[in-house]
Amino acid sequence: MHHCFPPVTRADTRLLVLGSLPGMASLAAGRYYAHPRNQFWRLIGDAIGSDLVALDYEERLAALLDAGVGLWDSVAAATRKGSLDADIRLLAASDLAALAATLPSLKAVAFNGGTSARIGRRQLGEINNVALIDLPSSSPAYTLAYERKRAQWRKLAAFL
């Protein structure tokens, strides 16, 4: 059984980005988006106007929080062979509504990929005055060109 990491948020979080469940490289490292080919840090850095790739992990998290961005996952726990979302089984969803209720400044929840969106939207339902945004996955398994991913991810800046 694999488990998600604790949420990275503050009371002033305006944008919550949700992945599905950390992949094997992330679980081994104990860090969000640790796979070197995952484009998350580059994409979210482009959205907030900061070169997060150049920072160490703790500095990346601090820069996200300072920009009003929080992180978590739609899946709290699941079995999975490897890192592909398609292989997630026996999942327990994260209590996203409870987390959202602790974020009074929340303007948007962004889903990093289809699995996160499918599970997360089911958990959240409708939240008053909070936009729900589906994003192309930052995973290297999702082969959409970086420029096309970036065009979608940059739309997050409107909520910061």
Active site positions, annotated: 38
* Contact indicator for 107, 159 with CB cutoff of 8 Å: yes
Q: Considering only CA atoms, which of 120, 98, 93, 118 is closest in space to residue 17?
A: 120
Is 82 exposed, middle or buried (CB count within 10 Å of its CB: 0-12, 13-18, 19+)? exposed
Q: Considering only CA atoms, which of 117, 119, 154 is closest in space to residue 133?
A: 117
* Contact indicator for 31, 61 with CB cutoff of 8 Å: no
Q: Considering only CA atoms, which of 154, 18, 157 is closest in space to residue 96?
A: 18
